[in-house]
Amino acid sequence: MLGLYIHTPFCEKVCDYCDFSVLSAPDRLLDEYLELLAVEMQLLFKRFPDFTQKFQTIYWGGGTPSILNAKRQNKIFDMLWSHGVGVENLKEFSMELNPESCSQEVVENAIQNGVNRFSLGIQSFKEHLLQKVGRAHSVKTALVALEYLESLRSQGISVSVDLMFNLPGQSVEDFLEDLEFLVKKPIDHISFYGLTVASNTALGTKIKRGELFVDDNLYAEMYLQGVKIVENNGFKRYETSNFAKIGKESLHNQNYWDRGFYLGLGPGAHSFVGNTRFFAPESYAQWRSWVQADCPEKALNKDELDFEAIRTESIWLGLRCSKGFDLQKVKVSASKLKKWTDKGMLQIRNNRVSLRDEGWILMDRIVQDLL
């Protein structure tokens, strides 16, 4: 499968926990971004001319793609179609939304241009937690956006919702209540992610000062109990943080975990072709300079994968997914496998190795040991 990722690096407000290369931007910067993206797209597609008509998935993420109004959105859609990207070939076209910018104008325009899957970043249904991590929306705004997207499912639109857990001040009950509420909604996909606190963020600074506290001892219980709730309500875990109704898994993200090829556009967007991973400068200012210099290939961050790197990825990415990795393709120590199967953390079925039970919590440690 071949995928295309488009990164829009702007948010109405940068969340306190965010360490991605995103920024709050004035209108002039939005228009400049579109002009730069057009140049990058032309040069990247010129470099890979056989790809444009073969994309099967597109994922438009950020940042907040929905921060662009319909007129600005259409500039991106027009770029794609003018380069021969065929909407008729797409199995999935996903777009991320935040509740505060999930307007009818934006969503309907996206649907008219082929988007058939929306991922809504709610993170929590608790007002005090949204405020603690600096989210730009309220619970009421999130519920209005969710109800609107639910109404579109009759048109064949797939709806996914993101939550976070192990937030500062969040109890196990807080998180499980959010999930109990969400699994009853008519949606297709749920993702939930444990908070990672980066020291260079506003949240990291508050925690260092002692203003907020994250209880890491709650992480495992939140995750394992959360998995039980979603799986008991018709969602299947297919990746460590992703759960879907049957047939509603994210095809684009599965392609990442299967080590399929993809191209990325926008600041810091990653690509993978052959055995080479590469990405453009991550900060908006550096990316702008790079595009204005006609995207020199020598300025890309590149990683040429050797045999051992491919083996490492195959184990790590394989274990992130419920289907695991194939023992006939990836060789690992029999004694190490036995160690973790005896502990009940790994299982082997039909020559495939996958995580089980608390192994999902210890994935990083298990991968390191197998390597």
pLDDT in tens, 207-224: 999 999 999 999 999 999
For the 307-370 domain, the top CATH level (class) is: mainly alpha
Could you give the CA distance from residue 341 to residue 236 in angstroms, rounded to a whole number? Answer: 22
Q: What is Dmax (Cα atoms) for the chain?
A: 60
Asked whether the predicted pLDDT for residue 245 surpasses 90, the reply is yes
Asked whether the predicted pLDDT for residue 21 surpasses 80, the reply is no
Task: Report which of 61, 108, 118, 113 is spatially closest to residue 90, judged by C-alpha positions.
Answer: 113
Q: What is the pLDDT confidence band of residue 23, given thresholds at 50, 70 and 90?
A: confident
pLDDT at 68: 95
Same fold, 2-257 and 307-370: no
Torsion angles phi and psi, residue 80, rounded to 5: -60, -50
Q: State mean pLDDT over 338-364.
A: 96
Query: How distant, in Å, are the alpha carbons of 149, 226, 241, 292, 364 from that of 361?
Result: 32, 12, 11, 44, 8
Q: What is the pLDDT confidence band of residue 60, given thresholds at 50, 70 and 90?
A: very high
Asked whether the predicted pLDDT for residue 120 surpasses 80, the reply is yes
Residue 36, Cβ density class (10 Å: 0-12 exposed, 13-18 middle, ≥19 buried): buried
Q: State mean pLDDT over 76-81.
A: 96
Q: Name the residue ranges covered by the structural domains of the chain.
A: 2-257, 307-370
Kindly give, in sequence order, each residue whose CB lies less than 8 Å from that of residue 332, ignoring residues fewer than 6 positions away: 315, 353, 370
Q: What is the pTM assigned to this prediction? A: 0.95
327 alpha carbon, distance to own chain's centre: 28
> Which CATH fold would you assign to the domain 2-257?
TIM Barrel (3.20.20)
Could you give the CA distance from residue 61 to residue 119 in angstroms, rounded to a whole number? Answer: 9
Exposed e or buried b per residue across 334-363, where buried means at least 16 C-beta atoms within 10 angstroms of its C-beta: eeebeebeeeebbeeeeebbbbeeebbbbe
Task: Report which of 243, 135, 225 is spatially closest to residue 173, judged by C-alpha positions.
Answer: 225
Cβ proximity of 287 and 266 under 8 Å: yes
Cβ proximity of 169 and 132 under 8 Å: yes
Task: Report which of 84, 96, 97 is spatially closest to residue 55, judged by C-alpha positions.
Answer: 84
